[in-house]
Every structure is written in structure tokens, then in C-alpha cells.
Amino acid sequence: MINHDRENADEDDTDGSPACPYCQSTVDCPHLLLLVDKTFRTAEGGLLYEAFNNRWSELSETHCDDPDFDERECFDELLEEIEDLASCSIPYDHEGGPGMSSSYEVHYVSSKLNAQKAQKSFGK
């Protein structure tokens, strides 16, 4: 998987989000697999948005009473599944003022076929 860093990503001037490396779109495109706010541990868009949030909610609810549950570790493991399905990912930070800043990661697939495979695999 290609991991583009912030310095190499094309950015939209309005919110700092990167452009798709395949179609250069700065809005929802067919290559967008998942947009994740890593700070608040939520998915905010993409083909796997709903499936990711559903699985994350199930994991959180299942382990909520477990004192040894490491939320960050569990979220990162779920995100690793996405990374394995993605063709590339681009991390970036959104500065929204005090208490409103977040670390984001955008995962893309290079083709419609890869998008279908990812949906089938992750939605199991």
C-alpha cells in the first residue's frame, strides 16, 4: 500500500483535506474507501463508512464492561483491516481551533473492482 504523507498530498484550500490520488477530487469520489477521524475514533465518509461504524460500535459495546479493554488498540486493529484493503492512505491534521483539531486518515482504492472486493471483505 502506498502511504502518502501530508507534504506530498494535494490539498483543498477550504478545509485542508487531501485530493484523491486517482481522480484529484477533493469531495466524495468512487475511490474513497474510508475517511476516519483518529482523534475521536469515528468514520466520517467513504464506501465502508457504515460498515466500519457498525463494527466499531459492536466492538465497543461488547467490551464496554471489560476493565482491560484498550479502546485505542482495538480501534487501531480495526483500522489495520482497512489499511490492508486500501490501495493508499493519506494522513492529515485538521486544525479547527482549540479543542476542535483532529488527526484524520483517508483510505483510497485504485479501482471499482478493488472497491467491490473491499466492501465484500469488510462487510462480512
User: Is 10's pLDDT higher than 50?
Assistant: no
Tell me the pTM.
0.81
User: Is 44's pLDDT higher than 70?
Assistant: yes
Residues 25 and 87 sit within 8 Å (Cβ to Cβ): no
- For the CA atoms of the chain, what is the radius of gyration? 15
Residue 18 is given by DSSP the state B
Q: What is the pLDDT of residue 124?
A: 60
Cell numbers at 105, concatenated = 486518515
Domain borders along the chain are 2-117
Residues 49 and 75 sit within 8 Å (Cβ to Cβ): no
List phi, psi (to 5°) of 13.
-70, -20
What is the pLDDT of the chain when averaged over all its residues?
84
Residue 60's contacts (CB-CB under 8 Å, 6 or more residues apart) are: 71, 74
More confident residue, 30 or 12: 30
